[in-house]
Chains A and B, each alone.
Chain A
Amino acid sequence: MTEVRGAVHVEGEVVATKRIGAFRHLTLTAPGVPERFRAGTFVAVTVADHVARRALWVHRVRASSAYGPTLDVVVEARGSGTQWLTAQPVGARIAITGPLGRPFALPKEPVACLLVGEGYAAAPLFPLAERLRERGCQVSLVVSAPDEAHLLSALEARRSARSVTVLTADGSVGVRGRVTDALDDLVARSDADIVYAAGPTPVLAAAASAAERSGAWSQVAVEAPTPCGTGLCHGCPLPVVGEDGVDRVVRACTEGPVVRGDRVRWDALPDALGQAR
């Protein structure tokens, strides 16, 4: 079967909505999107009365359900747009564009992989874990959060991962601690050949440098505010260094969101994202 590629812009429908901790999990139909999805790609959705769109990580894709193919997204209400999204009831129609961006690169060999994620942004690691397991990779999954409410449950991932580690900063569940401090140890213990990371910039930077120190490859899913998500606006600068050693600024939505960790200019990233250091 030929794989379907490229994004589509469709009208989807909310078929399930569930609050889990601080997040809202939405299950959406979006004709053509689940079929094209690869772990690490994302969708952009239209929210009422807003010009810019909201980019959402895909947590899970079902090839078939009572509603046909669906995708699950995780939303944390942080502003008026995400608040509107989390309030959408079953049956609500939403314009969805996707899948967008470059996915995680998968190894050809069944190697050891460490997957590190924090908060809702850890979502793309779950479909990734499934793909890796299908390829016979040994998957170690680490999910972390400030507290239990902001933790994506790893219960379902136990099927795909050989080991699951849970870290919370306040110790409300799992091991007390910050993933950024534990990374060297986690990389060593998992004997990882590839480190995959998804979450806030400090987690990605720590994962990339821990991988570098241990001689592993790294793939990071950068979360940048993407006004359009489709590559049209150049509003999500991602500073990288190219294969040729030349510094460049690429679009996080189109040349990313997944990039090699050793290609990101981590010192320039906070400015590019407009984050205070």
Chain B
Amino acid sequence: MSAQLPGPVMVAAGCGGTGRELEAYAGPAGLVGLDLVTRSITLDARAGGAGPRIAEVPGGLVNAVGLPNPGLDHFLATELPWLVRAGVRVLVSIAGATMGEYADLARRLSSAPGVAGLEVNVGAPDDVGTGLFEVREPFHAASVVAAVRREFPTDRPVLAKLRPDVSRIVEGARSCHEAGATAVVVGNAVPAAFPDGRSGGLSGPAVAPIALRCVAEVHRALPGVPVIGCGGVRDLRSANAYLDAGAVAVQVGTALLHDPTTVSRLRADLAPTDRLMEDA
């Protein structure tokens, strides 16, 4: 069984709005063929956290947005059909409070027309993922991935998005890959604090060297595991740093908030190539 991996440029979860907002900045080709990871979708709607949800710090942003989303039903009824009509390759990021919720999400998304793949959010900074299944232990993250994989067709990719925690990233990547993840996304907001001490996650150029180190470690230790780099990708140079370190693709996140045309420019710069990967 093989699942085609997205890339080489993707929109990172939580940084593409509902996807529609990117259309104005996509150029004449529109959103056709764009690999977009949605913001994390949960079974029930989530309002998200109180403000300020985002604070600016040198080199990046600290966020505690709190996974606002309309819930699976609303997403399937309104957002997904629009994206599919626009030609977007939709990878749905999923987050759940229990293993059962992850499995439910995966099962229902497996039969939704147009879902190109899933990304399992197993790397939200601790407090930001309040109410989510505890996945800090690689074993737990792998259990979630296995539960999702069981419910989702093997010809479509399931990505596991891990936190760039250097001390445990190799272990996390190995566990998730063994549990059936087609690829691991290495890089997510790094646990951090707002200037007032509240917990959040740091993203943007400031985290790029950390995520790059994690990507390199995973690639070195597990050369057979496809790795997608994420963190501070904003131009060809920052994207190439990940690709040179062994990543098969990159995700663009915070840079889109700074310049919404980033992903279209990078897509043009990095001409896509087909990558057929053997699924585990």
Contact = CB atoms under 8 A, between A and B. Distances in A.
A52 B257 CA distance: 7
Contact of A227 (B47, B61, B68, B261): B61
Interface in A1-47: 6-9, 46
Contact of B56 (A51, A254, A274): A51
A233 B15 contact: yes
B21 A249 contact: no
Contact of A232 (B58, B204, B256): B256
A232 B21 contact: yes
Nearest to B39: A234
Nearest to B194: A274
A231 B17 contact: yes
A122 to B, nearest CB: 23
Interface residues of B, number: 36
Contact of A274 (B14, B25, B50, B257): B50
A228 interface: yes
A274 B39 CA distance: 22
Nearest to B59: A51
Interface string B22-40: 1111000000000000010
Q: Which label, helix, strand, loop or mixed, suits the secondary structure of the A interface?
A: loop
A52 B258 contact: yes
A273 interface: yes
B100 interface: no
B47 A235 contact: no
Contact of A51 (B39, B47, B60, B68): B60
A234 B258 contact: no
Contact of A46 (B18, B25, B258): B258
Contacts of B114: none
B188 interface: no
A225 B52 contact: yes
A122 B185 CA distance: 45
For the complex of A and B, the 4 pairs showing the least CB-CB separation, nearest first, are: A274-B51, A274-B52, A228-B257, A235-B54
